Homo-oligomer: A and B are copies of this chain.
Amino acid sequence: MRKIFVIGIGAGNPDYVTVQAINALNEVDVFFIMDKGEEKEDFVRLRKEICERYVKDKSYRIMQTVDPPRDRTASSYEPAVLTWHEQRARIYERLIGEELGEDECGAFLVWGDPSLYDSTLRIIDQIIARANVAFEYEVIPGISAIQALAARHRIVLNRIGRSVHITTGRKVAEGLPNDIDDVIVMLDADCSFKALGDSGFDIYWGAYVGTDDEILVAGNLRERKGDIERLRTEAKARKGWVMDTYLLRKHDA
């Protein structure tokens, strides 16, 4: 039976890879790597470096394909994403069927952790639902960008006995729920924290966390938001892409 690993490789630092992930990497015959837009070169290179660094005494193949573009002009977010997943499911299904022998093992290497804001597991579920190709699969957790951010700022995400909310830039732009004190924001291309006005928040922001390009900023949101926006714009211009995350911590009344 074919086997697929979905392996979280951690967010940024190749040292974030776990022993469990290394063991899985060493069982893989075919790595499926999707090119994704502008950041593609760096991301493909990181994945290849992880294979080279951690796979010992085993030959493997790399299947590199181009990710279909997502329709970013669609008026409704979720249907556009679902259509995109379906396109990708068809591509992956074909790759698994054609490129992987009956007893071989394939893998998708997921930036960060497969359980947070990543589509790989949804696509695997779609392939299984289509039932054209049979395989077993296993998920290996990885260090997420959130954990890297917290570690580098040396903070605990929750306050004592309180909750933590994880959300997207899109949701922050729509307005935060009232009763939420600590909010981690991912996928925020528009610096939505600016829209929070001068309500009392601290921000712990980081880009390229855990890498040589890491930028960290912490402090009062009102005082630091201009700096963060500027640093983010400069970094994106310099590198071609930016990946950032932040924690908003509401001041106690």
Contact = CB atoms under 8 A, between A and B. Distances in A.
Interface in A38-86: 77-78, 81-82
Interface in A204-234: none
Given A16-B19, A141-B16, A122 B156 contact: yes
A29 interface: no
A147 B144 CA distance: 9
A156 B114 contact: yes
A139 B122 contact: no
Contacts of A165: 163-166
Contacts of A179: 177
A111 to B, nearest CB: 14
Contacts of A161: 77-78, 81, 168, 170-171
Nearest to A148: B141
Interface residues of A, number: 57
Copies in the complex: 2
A15 B18 contact: yes
Given A115-B151, A115-B155, A155-B121, A160 B82 contact: yes
A95 interface: no
Contacts of A22: 19
Interface in A138-178: 138-144, 146-148, 150-152, 154-158, 160-168, 170-171, 177
B171 A163 contact: yes
A17 interface: yes
Contact of A115 (B117, B138, B157): B157
Given A15-B20, A18-B16, A144-B147, A118 B168 contact: no
Interface of A: 8, 10, 13-20, 22-23, 77-78, 81-82, 113-118, 121-122, 137-144, 146-148, 150-152, 154-158, 160-168, 170-171, 177, 179-180
